[in-house]
């Protein structure tokens, strides 16, 4: 019986590793086949970041959108009619040129070795580090998917989602509430188009629609996002610190300065508020949880071994 219990415990342990690291991914996957792979990606991202710092949140968001649709297989990178890139939720994704640049360099150094899915995962990590966040080791070994359909883009969180809906969408990928709050904390960098939240700052008479927002903050948003505008203007999701990966996003939530409704409710919900308060109090706790949650997220539905392919270019299947 003791042996059986030990065997069962070992199986549970292995199962937990599969959930966290994916089947077949591991740290240092390219150490012998393409030893400079991570350095090439990092240098490429750094170069583009130097010209346009907004590329960092773009790459982080793109990685999230890739993983939540058919897993982290680089399918969001494929271009063409009716691909994921054409779905409404992906209209404003940016950073494709960074991934293509890195892919060209990797194909020159190590032809047919490094997947586009891994490039995107590494680029997201490097984007956080470049904005003064904590880096982490990325398990690699993903292969690229061959299917990209706009019709499959149906499980991405929406700016109007309640905590319950967000929890359900994350739980579908074995991500818990701490993962949810940490990943949403990635909004400490980046912007949102006015059209996603003007319903919170204007009602039919032009006055504030959401009294739970900081009323001293609303006039600033109204100037940046005029009611008669087309909604395309963009504002920082983390007011006052939109280019630095820190905990001020959570401080803003506590002050009623969450821009998106889906962010704001993380403070009004008692369960998520406790996690927000923890991250507010300790940047170290937030950084550690973010890294852990990103590792879990980046191994959703990964393709390894004989599944998928290594694309020659990231915008098209072989």
Residue ranges covered by each domain of the chain: 23-156, 163-296
Type and span of the H or E element at 192: strand 191-193
- Of 171 and 21, more confident: 171
DSSP track, 202-254: --TTSS-S-TTS-TTTHHHHHHHS-TTS-S--EEESSTT-TTS-SSHHHHHHH
118 is in an annotated binding site: no
- Of 186 and 3, more confident: 186
- Rounded to the nearest 5°, which phi and psi values hold at 230? -90, 0
- Residue 183, pLDDT > 90, answer yes
- Residue 63, pLDDT > 60, answer yes
Identify the band that residue 205 occupies on the pLDDT scale cut at 50, 70 and 90: low
Give 241's contacts (C-beta < 8 A, 6+ positions apart). Answer: 188, 248, 249
pLDDT at 20: 40
Identify the band that residue 9 occupies on the pLDDT scale cut at 50, 70 and 90: very low
Does the domain at residues 163-296 carry the CATH identifier 1.10.420.10?
A: yes
pLDDT at 4: 39
Question: Is residue 65 among the annotated active site residues?
Answer: yes
208 is in an annotated binding site: no
Secondary structure of residue 143 in the 3-state scheme: strand
- Residue 208, pLDDT > 90, answer no
What are the tens digits of pLDDT across the range 240-279?
999 999 999 999 999 999 999 999 999 999 999 999 999 9
pLDDT at 10: 39
212 is in an annotated binding site: no
Where b means 16+ CB within 10 Å and e means fewer, 189-204 reads bbbbbbebbbebbbee
CATH, domain range 23-156: 1.10.520.10
Q: What's the mean pLDDT in 181-210?
A: 89
CA distance to 24, 132, 248, 302, per residue, from 307 (Å): 11, 36, 41, 9
Predicted TM-score (pTM) above 0.75: yes
84 is in an annotated binding site: yes
Identify the band that residue 24 occupies on the pLDDT scale cut at 50, 70 and 90: confident
Catalytic residue (one of 48, 63, 65, 264): 65
- Of 227 and 74, more confident: 74
Q: What's the mean pLDDT in 190-214?
A: 86
- Residue 2, pLDDT > 70, answer no
214 is in an annotated binding site: no
265 is in an annotated binding site: no
Q: What's the mean pLDDT in 39-65?
A: 98
Residues 297/21/131/74 CA torsion (nearest 10 deg): -60
Q: What's the mean pLDDT in 221-235?
A: 93
Type and span of the H or E element at 191: strand 191-193
pLDDT at 14: 39
Residues found in the chain? 318
Q: Could you tell me what percent of the chain has a pLDDT over 70?
A: 91
């Amino acid at each position: 019986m003791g042996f059986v219990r030990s065997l069962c415990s070992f199986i549970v342990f292995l199962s937990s590793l599969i959930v966290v690291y994916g089947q077949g991914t591991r740290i240092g996957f390219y150490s012998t086949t393409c030893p400079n792979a991570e350095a090439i990606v990092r240098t490429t991202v750094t170069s583009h970041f130097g010209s346009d710092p907004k590329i960092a949140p773009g790459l982080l968001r793109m990685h999230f959108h890739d993983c939540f649709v058919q897993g982290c297989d680089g399918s969001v990178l494929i271009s063409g009619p009716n691909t994921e890139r054409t779905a409404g939720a992906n209209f404003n994704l940016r950073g494709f040129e960074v991934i293509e640049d890195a892919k060209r360099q990797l194909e020159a150094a190590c032809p047919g070795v490094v997947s586009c899915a891994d490039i995107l995962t590494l680029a997201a990590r490097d984007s956080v580090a470049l904005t003064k966040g904590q880096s982490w080791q990325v398990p690699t070994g993903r292969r690229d998917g061959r299917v990209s359909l706009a019709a499959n883009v149906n499980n991405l969180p929406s700016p109007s989602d309640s905590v319950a809906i967000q929890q359900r969408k994350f739980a579908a990928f074995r991500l818990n509430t701490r993962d949810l709050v940490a990943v949403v904390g990635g909004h400490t960098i980046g912007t949102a188009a006015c059209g996603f939240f003007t319903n919170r700052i204007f009602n039919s008479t032009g006055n504030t629609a959401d009294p739970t927002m900081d009323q001293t903050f609303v006039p600033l948003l109204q100037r940046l996002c005029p009611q008669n505008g087309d909604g395309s203007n963009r504002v920082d999701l983390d007011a006052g610190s939109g280019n630095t990966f820190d905990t001020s996003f959570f401080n803003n939530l506590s002050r009623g300065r969450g821009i998106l409704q889906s962010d704001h409710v993380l403070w009004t919900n008692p369960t998520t508020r406790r996690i927000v308060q923890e991250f507010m109090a300790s940047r170290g706790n937030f950084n550690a949880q973010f890294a852990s949650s990103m590792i879990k997220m980046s191994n959703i539905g990964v393709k390894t071994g004989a599944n998928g392919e290594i694309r020659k270019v990231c915008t098209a299947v072989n």
